[in-house]
């Protein structure tokens, strides 16, 4: 059919079964927004900042597993969105980002609100397009959704000049995507899979190392089955929290810079790392030369570029985690005996008994770890947990009782303050049945606090729990430990009245200084089902422990006992 480029965008979104678009209009994208006004097939959520639109689309995608969609205009609209695009790229989140561009005749003339969006986004997208002819638009949009959601997921950017959105051309969305240079391998090499399982059968101290790729490939069910049938202990990365339930007897905990003593020691003592969808990030490995130095490595990943990038893989397997793990399960049934690893499991459990993940209670103030635990006790599986970035993020990863994949949504690779609240809005849109909790800090919450208006207007009740220590807490912790307590520009003693801020946007605010007040506030916010801020005054100088100093070895951790001494 012959339709305008703007209409093509709408038809493509409908064909892709998109039910939610997050965005912010402007001149260059106005033709598309005019078509949005005319349709009722999907809901558009107007955020109050373009960065927030991208984070909301990220949160929606992380919670639902679907492709997130964001729409912005040219110039500052696009540059505001770059942080969100980069965040999605680092965490391998499938997204399609549609931006408006100045008309073709004005490109390169420094026109009003012109920016080289494709040039800027090249380094932080899986792929990007500048569409110069409406006849290409259907193909490009279909390719964008395909590329975003297959292989290693990621954001795809489509930049469309305003005159292209006005052009009339033939729209045919029925043609299959065929890209000669992009054909992700999902199956995994059968011979390599067999060798890997044989290596597991011979290992004395094997260890599952579960990464965010398990979540992205929706392989949590298969991985749970594999771990249980083998009897092999497992550690999770920050991005993999919830892959195994918190009460799984074989789950040690999170590993890495702020991982548990048991998890880090297990990785240091293992003789075989079974890495599933992990990329050996520096926050996980610590000093590379000391990382699992006595172990062989099985590395399964959909992205061939990730394998042996940092740690050499003795058994590299390129493929989709779900497909490969299913194949490994079939072989393991006849080749593995879970009783072989009982002494190794006992060793790991002893590590946990020696230095369990814990904190020191305080009768005079609320400890931030207690707040996270208490939310878990009250809500458990009935909540989705989003965080911003900082100490509160690590405490959430350490102490919340996650029971399922996609329950924990946070900014991993890029570490973006301001991610949490808009992401929690996207999470709520994706899962209306569960309570959406954003655990944040008094520094992070201010970076996108304008989204109170979005949440209130769209009736998306997100509860923001501020662990308020009047510091940029994580930076302050580093300054305390490594900069002789020179707290340079991290004191946030001068802050707004968060209760009044919440109320001024039409939400509800609570100020909390006791445990009893916190319980009452959280239960009231849940019962009222409103957009809320719970401002919790917590212990100011609490540190996130354990901690592996930057560049240090995993087995050389700063522990709670050391802090008390």
pLDDT at 51: 98
Domain holding 123, by residue range, is 2-170
Count other C-beta atoms under 10 Å from residue 354's C-beta. Answer: 11
What is the spatial distance between Cα 397 and Cα 399, in angstroms, rounded to a whole number? 6
386 in Cβ contact with 241 (< 8 Å): no
Is 347 inside any structural domain? yes
Is 564 inside any structural domain? no
pLDDT at 561: 65
- Give me the half-sphere count of Cα atoms (radius 13 Å) on the Cβ side of residue 443: 20
CA torsion sign for 262, 263, 269, 271 is: positive
- Give me the half-sphere count of Cα atoms (radius 13 Å) on the Cβ side of residue 361: 3
Going by pLDDT thresholds of 50, 70 and 90, the confidence category of residue 507 is very high
292 vs 101, 179, 206, 218, 297, CA distance in Å? 49, 39, 11, 27, 9
Is 290 inside any structural domain? yes
- For residue 143, how far is the Cα from the chain centroid? 24
Is 49 inside any structural domain? yes
What is the spatial distance between Cα 555 and Cα 351, in angstroms, rounded to a whole number? 11
Write the DSSP symbol of residue 286.
S
- Output the six-digit token pair for 7: 């209409």
47 in Cβ contact with 422 (< 8 Å): yes
Is 489 inside any structural domain? yes
215 and 159, same domain (yes or no): no
Is 360 inside any structural domain? no
Q: What percent of the chain has pLDDT over 90?
A: 97
Tell whether the model's pLDDT for residue 563 goes beyond 50: no
Strands annotated E in 378-461: 383-387, 408-409, 435-441
306 and 410, same domain (yes or no): no
What is the spatial distance between Cα 392 and Cα 56, in angstroms, rounded to a whole number? 20
Residue 407: which of 375, 431, 388 has the closest Cα?
Answer: 431
Strands annotated E in 173-321: 206-210, 234-236, 251-254, 272-276, 296-301, 315-318
Residue that finishes a domain, picked among 323, 354, 385: 354
151 in Cβ contact with 217 (< 8 Å): no
Tell whether the model's pLDDT for residue 338 goes beyond 90: no
Q: How many domains, in total, are found in the chain?
A: 3
Question: Mean pLDDT across the stretch 295-321?
Answer: 97
297 and 427, same domain (yes or no): no
What is the spatial distance between Cα 177 and Cα 185, in angstroms, rounded to a whole number? 16
**Buried b or exposed e, range 35-55, using 16+ CB within 10 angstroms:** bbeeeeebebbebbbbbbbbb
387 and 315, same domain (yes or no): no
Question: Mean pLDDT across the stretch 308-326?
Answer: 97
158 and 17, same domain (yes or no): yes
Tell whether the model's pLDDT for residue 518 goes beyond 90: yes
CATH classification at residue 392: 3.40.50.970
Active site residues: 50, 112-113, 162, 474
324 and 384, same domain (yes or no): no
27 and 86, same domain (yes or no): yes
Q: Which residues are registered as beta bridge partners of 97?
A: 70, 157
User: Residue 457: CB partners within 8 Å, gap ≥ 6?
Assistant: 46
Is 563 inside any structural domain? no
Query: If you write DSSP's letter for every residue of 64-84 in order, what string do you get?
Result: H-SPEEEEE-STHHHHHHHHH
What is the spatial distance between Cα 542 and Cα 394, in angstroms, rounded to a whole number? 12
Burial of 350 (0-12, 13-18, 19+ CB in 10 A): exposed
pLDDT, tens digit (0-9, with 9 covering 90-100), for 359-373: 999 888 899 999 999
pLDDT, tens digit (0-9, with 9 covering 90-100), for 243-273: 999 999 999 999 999 999 999 999 999 999 9
What is the spatial distance between Cα 140 and Cα 146, in angstroms, rounded to a whole number? 10
166 vs 5, 90, 129, 161, 163, CA distance in Å? 6, 34, 18, 9, 5
- Output the six-digit token pair for 547: 């901690």
- Output the six-digit token pair for 144: 């964008």
What is the spatial distance between Cα 371 and Cα 536, in angstroms, rounded to a whole number? 9
Strands annotated E in 370-426: 383-387, 408-409
Complete edge-to-edge strand list for the sheet that includes strand 462-468:
408-409, 383-387, 435-441, 462-468, 532-537, 508-512
Question: Mean pLDDT across the stretch 530-559?
Answer: 96
490 and 450, same domain (yes or no): yes
Residue that finishes a domain, picked among 329, 354, 379: 354
pLDDT, tens digit (0-9, with 9 covering 90-100), for 467-504: 999 999 999 999 999 999 999 999 999 999 999 999 99
What is the spatial distance between Cα 376 and Cα 246, in angstroms, rounded to a whole number? 11
411 and 289, same domain (yes or no): no
305 and 445, same domain (yes or no): no
266 and 380, same domain (yes or no): no
Residue 316: which of 331, 299, 336, 341 has the closest Cα?
Answer: 299
- Output the six-digit token pair for 287: 């000093």
Residue that finishes a domain, picked among 326, 354, 382: 354
pLDDT at 421: 98
Question: Mean pLDDT across the stretch 291-311?
Answer: 96
Tell whether the model's pLDDT for residue 562 goes beyond 80: no
Quick one: angle between helices 220-230 and 321-335, nearest 10? Answer: 20
342 and 379, same domain (yes or no): no
Going by pLDDT thresholds of 50, 70 and 90, the confidence category of residue 565 is very low
CATH classification at residue 210: 3.40.50.1220
Residue 423: which of 395, 400, 454, 401 has the closest Cα?
Answer: 454
Tell whether the model's pLDDT for residue 136 goes beyond 90: yes
283 in Cβ contact with 415 (< 8 Å): no
End-to-end CA distance of the chain: 75
Tell whether the model's pLDDT for residue 379 goes beyond 70: yes
């Amino acid at each position: 059919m012959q339709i305008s480029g703007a209409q093509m965008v709408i038809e493509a979104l409908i064909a892709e079964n998109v039910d939610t678009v997050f965005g912010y209009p402007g001149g260059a994208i106005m033709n598309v927004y005019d078509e949005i006004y005319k349709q009722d097939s999907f809901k558009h959520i107007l955020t109050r900042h373009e960065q927030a639109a991208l984070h909301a689309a990220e949160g929606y995608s992380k919670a639902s597993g679907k492709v997130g969609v964001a729409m912005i205009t040219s110039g500052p609209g696009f540059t505001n969105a770059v942080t969100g695009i980069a965040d999605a790229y680092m965490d391998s989140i499938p997204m399609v980002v549609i931006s408006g561009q100045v008309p073709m005749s004005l490109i390169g003339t420094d026109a009003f609100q012109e920016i080289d969006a494709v040039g800027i986004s090249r380094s932080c997208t899986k792929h990007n397009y500048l569409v110069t002819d409406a006849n290409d638009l259907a193909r490009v949009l279909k390719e964008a959704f395909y590329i975003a959601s297959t292989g290693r997921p990621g954001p795809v950017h489509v930049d469309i000049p305003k005159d292209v959105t006005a052009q009339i051309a033939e729209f045919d969305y029925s043609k299959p995507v065929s890209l000669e240079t992009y054909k992700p391998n999902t199956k995994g090499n059968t011979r390599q899979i067999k060798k890997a399982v044989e290596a597991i059968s011979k290992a004395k101290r094997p260890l599952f190392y579960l990464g965010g790729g398990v979540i992205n490939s929706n392989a949590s069910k298969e991985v749970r089955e594999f771990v249980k049938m083998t009897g092999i202990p497992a550690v999770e990365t920050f991005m993999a929290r919830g892959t195994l339930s918190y009460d799984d007897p074989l789950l040690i905990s999170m590993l890495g810079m702020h991982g548990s003593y048991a998890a880090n020691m297990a990785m240091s003592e293992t003789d075989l790392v079974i890495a599933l969808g992990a990329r050996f990030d520096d926050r996980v490995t610590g000093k590379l030369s000391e990382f699992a130095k006595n172990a062989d490595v099985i590395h399964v990943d959909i992205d061939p570029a990730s394998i042996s990038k940092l740690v050499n893989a003795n058994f590299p397997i390129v493929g989709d985690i779900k497909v490969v793990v299913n194949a490994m399960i079939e072989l393991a049934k006849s080749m593995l005996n879970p009783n072989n690893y009982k002494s190794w499991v006992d060793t790991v459990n002893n590590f946990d008994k020696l230095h369990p993940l814990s904190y020191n209670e305080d009768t005079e103030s609320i400890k931030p770890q207690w707040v996270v635990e208490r939310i878990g006790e009250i809500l458990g599986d009935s909540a989705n947990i989003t965080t911003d970035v900082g100490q509160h993020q690590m405490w959430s990863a350490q102490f919340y009782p996650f029971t399922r994949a996609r329950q924990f949504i946070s900014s991993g690779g890029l570490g973006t303050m301001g991610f949490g609240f808009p992401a929690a809005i996207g999470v709520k849109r994706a899962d209306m049945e569960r309570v959406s909790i954003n655990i944040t800090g008094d520094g992070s919450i201010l970076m996108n606090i304008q989204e109170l208006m979005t949440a209130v207007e769209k009736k998306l009740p997100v509860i923001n729990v501020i662990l308020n220590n009047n510091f940029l807490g994580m930076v302050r912790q580093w300054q305390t430990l490594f900069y002789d307590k020179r707290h340079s520009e991290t004191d946030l003693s001068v802050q707004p009245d968060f209760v009044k801020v919440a109320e001024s946007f039409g939400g509800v605010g609570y100020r909390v200084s006791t445990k009893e007040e916190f319980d009452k506030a959280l239960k009231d916010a849940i019962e009222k089902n409103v957009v809320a801020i719970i401002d919790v005054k917590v212990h100011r100088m609490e540190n996130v422990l354990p901690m592996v100093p930057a560049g240090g070895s995993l087995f050389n951790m700063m522990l709670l006992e050391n802090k008390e001494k």
